[in-house]
Structure 1
């Protein structure tokens, strides 16, 4: 065949086709050669390689799922903590604001050698020998202040007078300076605002630790009543709030649930405490009408340290719905002011169900501690 007329490019293609032609005898050899040359790029994965790849893939999926779950848990925890302790945070702000406004409205007056003021004895027999502080009000903190009128009280309580301007009378509600009796305490039980017909019913029954506020309207203020003072300027009792708490229609309201402890520690300023040889309230007890305490009689403490320990509602549910308070070891705590930090540490172990905790608690509880020092605006502390 004469192919001199074919262009050079066509001739090249024809030559390549001729070279590619093989005989039947040469085919097996060629196939074998191609197979050997192309094995690495053309063959599939072995079973072992597939298993290894699947394991790596599953591991990556597991890591991604774990990271996603950790992120979700973190979000849920932070959100739950914010939501769960929102009421407690607001309640703590209410306490600190009210306590900062406490007042005794003290003044100085003449007294005889027995500490009696001139309006307590006949003017003919009154011989003034001293000029001392006097007050018609009271500021009191302690551990057993509401035992008589409240079932299952927990930890500390505080009661005082403050110009909060609270009144049930519409005509008085713009009088911001009106005096009110105020107090805060914790108890365990049902919500006192629950109707009596629902008390003890299921599921209405809901026993919880509860932070309560006592707030007596101005028009019902009883601290000046003869039933409280007995006609004496040196009276000392707790009838002005104790009697009101014992009534069915007590002027109390719930500030927050799940407050397991309220600690009230009256104290002097840091400078005064550094100079003093004794703590102002070593056992957390403070009574401005206690004549045995010459330093604090008719005086407000300059500072009140307030500690509030709260668990979230999920933790409260895990404690059950018993009619008696769960044992969190509180009975042995917060008796000695010098051990406040140590007692808080022990309570944290109890709440966290740490092995060997003093309460023997085995249920880990999520909790938060609120702590601050409140300066009393009306305090005019003097060691004289």
Structure 2
């Protein structure tokens, strides 16, 4: 039989075994490639989901740091009369010379335990961590938002509660249970309201100016914000020069611009000795820096944890042995809290930033 002109002499085809081996290798290669692509896809999806989960928290953190950096006191210098404890001379017919020349301000800056600052029914469980209240030139009014230099009061805290007040009206027709969560809230009254110098109002407590209309002027900024920690500090170089720790101005996280040493909420502790030397400390001064730390949970973890605590706020800081009452233990307290959350399989992320307060007016006499 004559060989086909299209097949070279001595050539042969693949055997069945060779074909099966080739197909097996090709299948294994495809499985490896598909597995690698799926792993990359799941990784990208996981990163995207995590970014989306904490996007609201990240935006809230940026809002706090941006607004806090604009805090102001607008201090000024004036005569101080020891007899009246103010810049007004004592009453009577006798002319009294001023005792000193010191700083004054009608504005206030406060940080500290949220349960203490908010007062009322606030507890460490329902309002964990810290809160801050201050004034800044944000320009919000009842009529318009274009007055950028107009002063506004601002405040931030964590509160526990349900979402009944934040729900759209149409949800009332559906049997959807309310959700109990920790939330970051913002106190944001218009410039016409809630300022320490409002009208002729005389407040008996240095926190009353924001307590008196706290609820109607408060809005929710973000859900599942577990903790807010605020640590007023001085710059490292200044602390080293003064031979003090950076957090010496607020060793227990409490800072009140009305106070000389921030140990108690006293309104006036100015002392003037016989030589006329004044001890005013940090009174009517902003802290140069504030270390802001925020802990946020993802919704899946928060929903699972909510099944445990129900409608009552858990005192998780006590469980985690992380009270955040001593500024020298800031990092240790945060590490204990993160370890506790990990043991409970709660997915969290920590935001932290050192915010310089650009309107702080410190000099060598303050140290």
**Do the aligned partners of 2:322 and 2:334 also contact (CA within 8 Å) in 1?**
no
Who is 2:288 aligned against? Answer: 302
Who is 2:141 aligned against? Answer: 167
Calculate the TM-score normalised by the size of structure 2: 0.78
- Note the residue ranges of structure 2 that are not aligned, 5 or more in a row: 3-12, 263-279
Who is 1:140 aligned against? Answer: 110
Who is 1:376 aligned against? Answer: 357
**Do the aligned partners of 1:102 and 1:160 also contact (CA within 8 Å) in 2?**
yes
State the secondary structure of the residue aligned to 1:324. Answer: coil
The answer as to 2:302 corresponding to 1:316 is yes
Q: Quick one: which of 245, 249, 255 aligns to 1:286?
A: 255
Who is 1:213 aligned against? Answer: 186
Query: Which has more radius of gyration?
Result: 1
Per the TM alignment, residue 137 of structure 1 is displaced from its structure 2 partner at its CA by 1.1
Per the TM alignment, residue 266 of structure 1 is displaced from its structure 2 partner at its CA by 0.6
State the secondary structure of the residue aligned to 1:372. Answer: strand
Q: Quick one: which of 203, 225, 228 aligns to 1:259?
A: 225
Q: Structure 1 pair 303/261, CA: closer, same or farther in 2 (3 Å)?
A: same
Instruction: For 2:241 and 2:15, locate their aligned partners in 1 and report how far apart those are by CA, in whole Å.
Output: 90
**Do the aligned partners of 1:258 and 1:312 also contact (CA within 8 Å) in 2?**
yes
Who is 2:161 aligned against? Answer: 189
The answer as to 2:58 corresponding to 1:119 is no
**Do the aligned partners of 1:319 and 1:326 also contact (CA within 8 Å) in 2?**
no
Q: Structure 1 pair 55/338, CA: closer, same or farther in 2 (3 Å)?
A: farther
Who is 1:351 aligned against? Answer: 341
Instruction: For 1:128 and 1:238, locate their aligned partners in 2 and report how far apart those are by CA, in whole Å.
Output: 29
Instruction: For 2:24 and 2:323, locate their aligned partners in 1 and report how far apart those are by CA, in whole Å.
Output: 55
Instruction: For 2:83 and 2:287, locate their aligned partners in 1 and report how far apart those are by CA, in whole Å.
Output: 25
Instruction: For 2:306 and 2:22, locate their aligned partners in 1 and report how far apart those are by CA, in whole Å.
Output: 50
Greater alpha carbon shift after TM alignment, 270-279 vs 250-259 = 270-279
Instruction: For 2:288 and 2:58, locate their aligned partners in 1 and report how far apart those are by CA, in whole Å.
Output: 24
Q: Structure 1 pair 103/324, CA: closer, same or farther in 2 (3 Å)?
A: same
- Note the residue ranges of structure 1 that are not aligned, 5 or more in a row: 1-12, 15-40, 354-360
Instruction: For 1:300 and 1:327, locate their aligned partners in 2 and report how far apart those are by CA, in whole Å.
Output: 31
Who is 1:229 aligned against? Answer: 202
Per the TM alignment, residue 346 of structure 1 is displaced from its structure 2 partner at its CA by 1.5
State the secondary structure of the residue aligned to 1:280. Answer: coil
Q: Structure 1 pair 53/266, CA: closer, same or farther in 2 (3 Å)?
A: same
State the secondary structure of the residue aligned to 2:65. Answer: helix
Per the TM alignment, residue 87 of structure 1 is displaced from its structure 2 partner at its CA by 1.3
CA RMSD between the two structures: 3.4
**Do the aligned partners of 2:227 and 2:296 also contact (CA within 8 Å) in 1?**
yes
Q: Structure 1 pair 146/345, CA: closer, same or farther in 2 (3 Å)?
A: same
Instruction: For 1:301 and 1:166, locate their aligned partners in 2 and report how far apart those are by CA, in whole Å.
Output: 24
Q: Structure 1 pair 124/130, CA: closer, same or farther in 2 (3 Å)?
A: farther
Greater alpha carbon shift after TM alignment, 107-116 vs 332-341 = 107-116
The number of residue pairs the alignment matches comes to: 328
The answer as to 2:100 corresponding to 1:100 is no
List 4+ stretches of structure 1 deviating above 6 A.
52-59, 195-199
Who is 2:270 aligned against? Answer: none
**Structure 1 or 2: more helix by fraction:** 1
Q: Structure 1 pair 83/352, CA: closer, same or farther in 2 (3 Å)?
A: same
